[in-house]
Structure 1
Amino acid sequence: MSEFAEVLAALRRVRGINPFFALDVGRPDGSWSPGTALLEGPALKNTIDAIAARYRAEEPRVAASLFFLSYTARLLSPLTAANLPVDVRPENLWWRHHPVNGLSVRIDEPRLGPPAAEALEPVVEAIRSVTPVARGLLWGNAMSNIAGALKMVVRARMLTAEEAEERGELLMSAPPFEQAGKFLSFPGEVGFVRRSCCLYYRVAAGGKCGDCPLVK
């Protein structure tokens, strides 16, 4: 099987789990921006500002966190389920932000690439260049999405809870996910608690997430 066919088959296999696992492929219409627009120019800051306005987030770092939480959910959910290093570097992505529907992301070419953490690193640095926000918080968002994806994969009966936890623990054995959180053992289920907070509770109608370390 060619690399092209392997990636397409893997993405098709997992897209039915829920909408966050549906990663589309191919060049879209003109309403989308190339992924590289996240790394330079005003697009990223404008999007973070729009998120701040939508959620009435007074602190820019809260909106920056919400952006990366959404960005990584749409990329890491399908990659975690497929267990394949699909190329999600900015140069192989398209994205757009709708004031009501939020963030959408798709890949340009179905091909293999570097590990997801390496692909996400330029976006982490771009966010931090426009908004002061802790690296640990951003990578905690990414790991939270990985853990959430593993939970859905178990519910879809594509992995056992033990297999999913093993995959998550392996990811957290190396930077940048070291110390991002810990998995909790529940019969037939994936449990996870993170060590950082995504700050969603600081928006006007926000609350604390199920894996939040602030939940008592």
Structure 2
Amino acid sequence: MSDYYTPVLSTLRQIRGLSPFFALDVGRPASDADGGGWRSGDDLADGAVLSGALRAIGERYRTGEARVSASLFFLGYTARLLSPTVAAHAVGGVAPDIRPANVWWHYGPDGMRVRIGEPVAGVSISASLEPVVAAIRDVVPVARGLLWGNAASSIAGALRTVSLSGTASAEQCVALGERLLDEPPLRGSGDFIPFPGEVAFRRRSCCLYYRLDGGGTCGDCPLPQQ
């Protein structure tokens, strides 16, 4: 393996034990007769491909609201990609390339799965996710603020896990989170709440999970607790 890949690979190995959400596999998925259900991130620009995934989510969660399915898709996508990305940033000061061209994704009975093709350093979170946000909004008229709020929630959740693991302090995690959320379009998506020794966060938009049958409000939801 080239030294070019070493910083990202070593950091991903260091954090993958934090939880399953931090275990980001590397390499193109194995080819088989049906492709194993894996799609390139670039395929998200294909409205038919994305619409199919949203229909599957709607069927799984028994919702006919396309914007709820779109929100759940992006929640799963960002949780799986941003957890290792943000943790790698916090632990090793380097983060993988999660732009669509380097991402593979699969939505199946076990939910969303992602992997990256090459373990190279990436660009900003906003630049990496903007094409995905645009692709979703081309298919479903869901608010940009909601989608970026989902990304902010994933960032905060990742930092909370890093802090609880003792890998970095809560203060270090909050400082990193505030820097990451200070970049448009993440700016204004939520706020870290001062609380000694913990990473506390409240987003400013709702992910719509409460609209599912049996759904409720999330821990960082801006809606009043029911």
Could you say which TM-score interval applies, normalised by the shorter chain? over 0.9
CA distance in 2, matches of 1:85, 1:35: 18
2:51 paired residue number = 45
Provide Cα deviations, 1:124-182, integer angstroms capped at 9, x if missing partner.
00000000100000000000000000000001101111111111111122201111111
1:143 paired residue number = 152
CA distance in 2, matches of 1:87, 1:132: 28
1:20 paired residue number = 21
1:87 paired residue number = 97
CA distance in 2, matches of 1:180, 1:11: 27
Structure 1 letter corresponding to 2:58: A
Aligned-pair identity in percent equals 55
Structure 2 letter corresponding to 1:133: V
The answer on whether the counterparts of 1:38 and 1:123 sit within 8 Å (CA) in structure 2 is yes
Structure 2 letter corresponding to 1:104: R
Structure 2 letter corresponding to 1:122: P
Secondary structure of 2:114's partner?
strand
Q: Are 1:67 and 2:73 an aligned pair?
A: yes
The answer on whether the counterparts of 2:47 and 2:139 sit within 8 Å (CA) in structure 1 is no
Kindly tell me the number of residue pairs found equivalent between the two proteins: 215
* TM-score (normalised: structure 2): 0.92
Structure 1 residues 41 and 199: CA distance shift in structure 2, 3 A: closer
| Structural RMSD (CA) | 1.2
What 5-or-longer segments of structure 2 have no aligned partner? none
The answer on whether the counterparts of 1:201 and 1:208 sit within 8 Å (CA) in structure 2 is yes
Secondary structure of 1:85's partner?
coil
CA distance in 2, matches of 1:178, 1:198: 17
1:158 paired residue number = 167
Q: Are 1:211 and 2:220 an aligned pair?
A: yes
What 5-or-longer segments of structure 1 have no aligned partner? none
1:170 paired residue number = 179
1:78 paired residue number = 84
CA distance in 2, matches of 1:188, 1:3: 36
The answer on whether the counterparts of 1:180 and 1:194 sit within 8 Å (CA) in structure 2 is yes
**Which 4+ stretches in 1 moved above 2 angstroms?**
none
